[in-house]
């Protein structure tokens, strides 16, 4: 007999009703993620989170009454088990850094594809960090240089000479194709190295590799 899995309970906060409505419609057919509530601002979010006790919160950063940064600080102090994902626009790099330092465990751009949103929710629910796929090199370096550090308790794994070479080039913004040409290997082989590196670092994408490498001094800016 198959074990029944409880859905991930999600609370969303955004002052734009259209965004909340779109989120609601998107989740309608999803059986493993349940939207349990909506808030229009940070103050309402804090109050609702205390009542509903969601697994994951998705919150806009810029909101009236109380912004997402202040709400996140309060929630991490009162409900540290709740995973928080920030949603933002393209030009909010400083605010994203502030959100992550306040205690958010992931961030997404407002135009993120639904599959990425689902992936972010599941990742954060597993108490891991989620970095948006469309993160700029500038933001990755800002996060790596900030107080935000999800790797404090993890032991640095051993990387082979080839893996270290790939890490260095990823941090220098070379694509898999460019790395393959420089190392005289196939793109498929480099992709294999990248997947192995992600597995060792316990990160989901290239952004995670860059932040991990800089935080753990595997790459110098």
Rounded to the nearest integer, the mean pLDDT of the chain is 91
Question: What pLDDT score was predicted for residue 134?
Answer: 86
- Is residue 166 within 8 A of residue 197, CB to CB? The reply is yes
**What is the mean pLDDT of the segment spanning 140-158?**
83
171-186 tens-digit pLDDT: 999 999 999 999 999 9
Token representation of residue 107: 């961030």
Q: Is the pLDDT reported for residue 3 higher than 60?
A: no
Split at pLDDT 50, 70, 90, the class of 123 is very high
Cα(119)–Cα(92) distance, rounded to whole angstroms?
Answer: 22
204-213 tens-digit pLDDT: 899 999 999 9
Q: Is the pLDDT reported for residue 161 higher than 80?
A: yes
Q: State phi, psi for 146 to the nearest 5 degrees.
A: -85, 180
Cα(84)–Cα(93) distance, rounded to whole angstroms?
Answer: 17
pTM of the entire predicted model: 0.87
- Other C-beta atoms closer than 10 Å to the C-beta of 147 total 9
Query: How far is residue 109 from each of residues 1, 49, 90, measured CA to CA in Å?
Result: 40, 23, 7
> Which are the contacts of 141, defined by CB distance < 8 A and separation ≥ 6?
210, 214, 221
Token representation of residue 28: 């309608």
Token representation of residue 146: 């900030």
- Is residue 38 within 8 A of residue 58, CB to CB? The reply is no
Q: Is the pLDDT reported for residue 115 higher than 70?
A: yes
Question: What pLDDT score was predicted for residue 2?
Answer: 43
Question: What pLDDT score was predicted for residue 1?
Answer: 38
Short-list 50, 55, 53, CA closest to 7: 55
14-41 tens-digit pLDDT: 999 998 999 999 988 888 999 999 999 9
Cα(50)–Cα(56) distance, rounded to whole angstroms?
Answer: 13
Q: Is the pLDDT reported for residue 154 higher than 70?
A: no
**Location of structure tokens 């794994």:** 157
Q: Is the pLDDT reported for residue 11 higher than 70?
A: yes
Q: Is the pLDDT reported for residue 151 higher than 80?
A: no
Question: What pLDDT score was predicted for residue 220?
Answer: 86
């Amino acid at each position: 007999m198959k074990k029944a899995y409880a859905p991930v309970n999600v609370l969303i906060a955004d002052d734009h009703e259209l965004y909340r409505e779109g989120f609601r419609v998107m989740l309608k057919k999803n059986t493993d993620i349940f939207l349990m509530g909506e808030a229009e601002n940070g103050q309402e979010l804090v109050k609702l989170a205390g009542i509903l006790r969601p697994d994951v919160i998705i919150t806009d950063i810029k909101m009236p009454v109380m912004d997402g940064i202040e709400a996140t600080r309060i929630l991490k102090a009162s409900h540290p088990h709740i995973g928080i994902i920030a949603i933002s626009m393209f030009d909010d790099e400083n605010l994203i850094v502030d959100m992550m330092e306040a205690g958010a465990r992931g961030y997404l751009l407002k135009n993120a594809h639904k599959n990425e949103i689902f992936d972010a929710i599941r990742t954060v629910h597993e108490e891991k960090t989620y970095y948006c796929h469309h993160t700029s090199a500038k933001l990755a370096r800002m996060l790596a240089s900030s107080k935000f550090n999800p790797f404090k308790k993890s032991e640095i794994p051993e990387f082979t000479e080839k893996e270290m070479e790939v890490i260095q080039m990823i941090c220098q913004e070379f694509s898999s194709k460019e790395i393959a040409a420089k190392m005289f290997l196939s793109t498929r082989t480099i992709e294999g190295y990248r997947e192995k590196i992600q597995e060792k670092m316990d990160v989901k994408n290239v952004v995670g590799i860059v932040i991990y490498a800089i935080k753990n001094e595997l790459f110098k800016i």
